[in-house]
A and B are shown apart, each in its own frame.
Chain A
Amino acid sequence: MLENYFPVLVFILVGLGFGVAPVILGRVLAPYRPDGEKLSPYECGFEAFEDARMKFDVRYYLIAILFILFDLEIAFLFPWATVFQEFIAAGELAWFVFGSVMVFLAILVIGYIVEWKNGALDWE
């Protein structure tokens, strides 16, 4: 069972290595002559006039929070979706399994409607 994941682990290491190698290669092969102007942040030729880590729109936070909710919902639906066909084949609990997930979805849909009504999904 777990040994099936061994190639995945090796692949992750190779993938990281594949990212590191070109950077090292580029550093070795390419010229390296830094100067103050070259290393300044790009702002269409102007001097950068304040720190770039400025305030940003709160909507981005909102999207991130909503994403967590919906992604969790998907994560919870995965096991249900995997076994749902077996329950239908068995016949007995199919409606119960279906109904419980519908209740779960309904709660999230209510939340989704509230978000929509309150304008959390609007970008003006």
Chain B
Amino acid sequence: MLWETVKLAMSSIRRNVLRSVLTLLGIVIGVGAVIAMVTLGNGASSKVQENLAKLGSNMLIVRPGQTTFGPGGSTDARSFDERDVAALKNDLSGIRGVAPTAQKQMKAVFGALNYDASVTGTNTDWFTVQDWVLEDGRVFSDSELRAGASVCVIGATITRELFAGQDPIGERLRIGNFSCEVIGRMAAKGQSAFGSDQDAIVVLPLRTYHRRIAGNTRIGAISISVTEAAAIPRVQRDAEDVLRERRRIMPGDEDDFTIRDLTQILATMASTTAILTGLLGAVAAVSLLVGGIGIMNIMLVSVTERTREIGIRLAIGALERQVLTQFLVEAVVLALFGGVLGIAIGLGLAAAGAAVMDVPFNADLKVIALAFAVSALIGVIFGFFPARRAARLDPIEALRRE
């Protein structure tokens, strides 16, 4: 009986392919939008997760001045010095490391080749704090740090661009009129969460950087890695206290530095994505509603067109329930047809979008199943009223209709 009804429904859709497809556009668009957005959203958030991991886990970044996020900020703010770093390292508990950084974009030269590199002065904690993996060689020794030795560790991009195939360890890299011996090279990290190449980097001991590159002793930022995520707020408060004391900021005065929790920034980015997804979800919901009304409309037309057929069925002994089921199944089959079309289109769009936006394509089976179920539900909800109208027809009236 059910199978007969499904077959009947299929044939009535086949008879009016164009009409059915037009009717279903609302559902196709709604389901397609949801599938595309959720699939892309999944890809984007898994990329954010990945970036979170790349940034180094549980990291706080301290910068001088009350700046908004990003480069620039007030230059007149007092920068940090090595004693601030030492104080933080001594006074904070529950941390993995404290790494001061000072940075400058410069050309790194080897032989005839050169490449724009982010030249960074720091200490050995930095490798831990930023989760760098050393692929070959070693990092700075304590004596090299103290003495400001002419040694450097390079990122994967520098290795690739300047040493193409050659082992860089032991070679001398020139930066401006300063040259350093390459003692280690790091594994690739890829793009940062903000789109820059993190591997175009040359790392020097902080003192070497101050003396040979910068000509001052400023520290641009201090990264603090916290052992456990739960401790981040506490460490942030403690670090603030330490720095306020060292910089002699009166109680009630504003901090002249900023401590940021990078994971929070990424979480904000992720929640922005979530808001966007929610908005598109709302659009999709409206589209599904419109699609449902389309189905209701077409089913009412169908009931009117087939009044005589319904009369015949009732006359030969169809129960109200059986006529109701027939039209309900038709509505559901119609809606499912739209749903499947929408899922296919949505996945196609998501695959294209994922390729363009360079995020992974994560088709979520649960979401697809849900879209399928929602389509069926729309068929039931919006098909019910027309189906009931069909079932309640008076057989005499229905048979009289031409």
**Do the two shown chains form a genuine complex with each other?**
no
Binding site for A on B (CB under 8 A): none
